[in-house]
Structure 1
């Protein structure tokens, strides 16, 4: 997805900004960086939504009635969830996405570029195209979502069909960027029955591909239909997806079956944590979930993936990567909004200090997260909460 080069008079992809959400900046890859490294640690592409999240509902809305929520938050959503989580963990993140030229698109662009320091040079603004929107209702520890949006038109080029004609003629995946920027890693959403050419190109260039997948609406659950799985270093489905794709009865059996197709498999187990297999080293790891009071689970899976990618690029042991991913996801569900609920290092440090200060703390919990001791800042500038979702956009010139 090529860039327009500008967003409302401002250059896209300008110098990274340590926004107000990142008072304590830690580079988890500092010891590994060299002069010949790619400019970006992680590349992503996908759809950015404007998320409107309602929380504090006692039950699901009932047909024909009006329900009042005790809380509400608005924030960038969709692929912005993972991009923000990666950036807040200190990874240099580049995102290719389409943005509408409406107020929602303006808000999302500024929140990601100015607020989070995410590179948007591969992204573009589309005149007359409205931003996709998701309304999420969180209750009983889960959420229900309603979304609306349209496929972005391809960029118009001389001698090519009009956008309307090109959109009808476009093959699957044609709206994706033809050549992603060099990056250490990329996170790819695998689509049953389709290939995204950029994934193979990135893998050939040495980019490490981390794949996730959504629910197969076709009901086929054919692993052979995930054509780009062969390019992935790691695959991170949830338990239901993993068991359906492998025809197994338990998440662990599913993880080992999937490890025959991809080197690293992580199966998320919801409230029970996660289980991982590394076929290359023979390692396995199982980490229980951290018990927290969940306010809004929107985007928690994306934050989990971001935590695992961070640990993988930093070269941590499998168990530490899994524990860190689970921790970041647990911290995220305690705040409004998928993207702006993602924790930064100041919040991780505050959690670690608080856990260590509890006299009756389970020793196994301290041991499981002992790797944080040498990672977190000793004097974080400020504890959580940091920059979060607001009920509506436009306060203080934010849109």
Structure 2
């Protein structure tokens, strides 16, 4: 097992003409490509994260946190994770016309260089807010939001009235019992759709209740979700069963790593997790998906994709917050240089990540460990 990871600072990404310090798709780009690498849609929250709590808040008492940060959350976690890995990302979302909405829009468009041309500001709508309290590697969250008006639902639920922009890939979060027409429309245009799923509160756990799964190239549930949907006795058996419904099944196994099956090639892969001391798991699942999408679009071997997704997720839990914790290439480079310098490192584990060597920035890695600056609404965007 590779030594625990640390913390780092994310690079600045830009729009279609200027990417992050690493373009993972450089080798596959060609004239006539879609303008965007990834498209996604959903609801943006303002996340306020309290950190440094010794224990969970106790009823009837006041708790003081040693740190606090603010950032766009919800679907913005996934969009930020994709953009920081160098993918040209387009997000369709509804934003409130309050200061929270303005802050989230600016942080995503100006700070992360995410395309918001298909997003809309909805007059008179209060931005949804989540307060997250991180302690002992766990989190407690409280959310608040008003019922969105029809125009907000149209953007967040149907993906700009079922007319998504051209993109290599799309990331969709499936909701049991709901149908999102934009997914089929995107797939019909050649967009490769990667899907995850939320907990089925109905208790049905019926794959027929995920009608858009048939349009997806890959499905990435966790072990519990995969077993409940398939009735399989193990996560690995569940992954194989899911390939009857989708070409590529990836099942995350928590501390054990991840397992994947590609029906088209017959290939399977399993990569163990990287041992880390988690500070905050918020957004780790989104970062895993972003890493896997990146590797898939770059045509990496299946095992490399799993390893990269697991690494980015491991780096993310070393930071507080959702989009705040999404790693970029400088974090990845710093981690790789650090683990190579550790004596008595398992050579087999190191070899698993050797594919990074040809991808990482050639400039000297920054000192290790680093902490990313945490932006707040009060001070505006960090520099």
TM-score (norm. length: structure 1) = 0.87
Q: Is 1:272 aligned to 2:243, yes or no?
A: no
Q: Is 1:150 aligned to 2:146, yes or no?
A: yes
Q: For 2:101 and 2:150, locate their aligned partners in 1 and report how far apart those are by CA, in whole Å.
A: 17
Q: For 1:174 and 1:97, locate their aligned partners in 2 and report how far apart those are by CA, in whole Å.
A: 10
Task: Report deviation, 1:278.
Answer: 1.0
Could you say which residue in structure 2 is the equivalent of 1:105?
A: 101
Choose from 270, 291, 306 the match for 2:290. Answer: 306
Task: Report deviation, 1:385.
Answer: 3.7
Could you say which residue in structure 1 is the equivalent of 2:219?
A: 235
Taking a change above 3 Å as real, the CA distance of residues 201 and 345 of structure 1, as seen in their structure-2 partners, is same
Could you say which residue in structure 2 is the equivalent of 1:62?
A: 58
Could you say which residue in structure 1 is the equivalent of 2:10?
A: none
Q: For 2:372 and 2:182, locate their aligned partners in 1 and report how far apart those are by CA, in whole Å.
A: 33
Contact 1:96 1:123 in 2 (8 A): yes
Q: For 2:17 and 2:113, locate their aligned partners in 1 and report how far apart those are by CA, in whole Å.
A: 4
1:339-383 superposed Cα distances (whole Å, 9 cap, x missing partner): 021111111111111111112111121111010011111215745
Taking a change above 3 Å as real, the CA distance of residues 362 and 311 of structure 1, as seen in their structure-2 partners, is same
Q: Is 1:389 aligned to 2:374, yes or no?
A: yes
Q: Is 1:178 aligned to 2:174, yes or no?
A: no
Which portions of structure 1, spanning 4 or more consecutive aligned residues, are displaced by more than 3 angstroms? 14-18, 172-177, 380-388
SS of the aligned residue for 2:293 comes to: helix
Task: Report deviation, 1:135.
Answer: 1.1
Contact 2:39 2:165 in 1 (8 A): yes
SS of the aligned residue for 2:323 comes to: coil
Q: Is 1:199 aligned to 2:195, yes or no?
A: no
Q: Is 1:215 aligned to 2:211, yes or no?
A: no
Task: Report deviation, 1:262.
Answer: 0.7
Q: For 1:353 and 1:208, locate their aligned partners in 2 and report how far apart those are by CA, in whole Å.
A: 33
Contact 1:17 1:114 in 2 (8 A): no
Q: For 1:89 and 1:254, locate their aligned partners in 2 and report how far apart those are by CA, in whole Å.
A: 30
Q: For 2:158 and 2:195, locate their aligned partners in 1 and report how far apart those are by CA, in whole Å.
A: 19
Q: For 2:314 and 2:80, locate their aligned partners in 1 and report how far apart those are by CA, in whole Å.
A: 16
Q: For 1:60 and 1:244, locate their aligned partners in 2 and report how far apart those are by CA, in whole Å.
A: 31
Q: Is 1:334 aligned to 2:318, yes or no?
A: yes
Contact 1:55 1:295 in 2 (8 A): no
Q: Which runs of 5+ in 1 are unaligned?
A: 1-13, 156-162
Contact 1:48 1:78 in 2 (8 A): yes
Q: For 1:149 and 1:207, locate their aligned partners in 2 and report how far apart those are by CA, in whole Å.
A: 32
TM-score (norm. length: structure 2) = 0.90
Aligned length: 367
Q: Which runs of 5+ in 2 are unaligned?
A: 1-13
Task: Report deviation, 1:306.
Answer: 0.2
Alpha carbon RMSD of aligned pairs, Å? 2.1
SS of the aligned residue for 2:40 comes to: strand
SS of the aligned residue for 1:73 comes to: strand
SS of the aligned residue for 2:46 comes to: strand
Task: Report deviation, 1:301.
Answer: 0.5
Contact 2:206 2:229 in 1 (8 A): yes
Moved more, 289-298 or 198-207: 289-298
Moved more, 262-271 or 140-149: 140-149
Q: More relative contact order in 1 or in 2 (CA 8 Å, sep 6+)?
A: 2
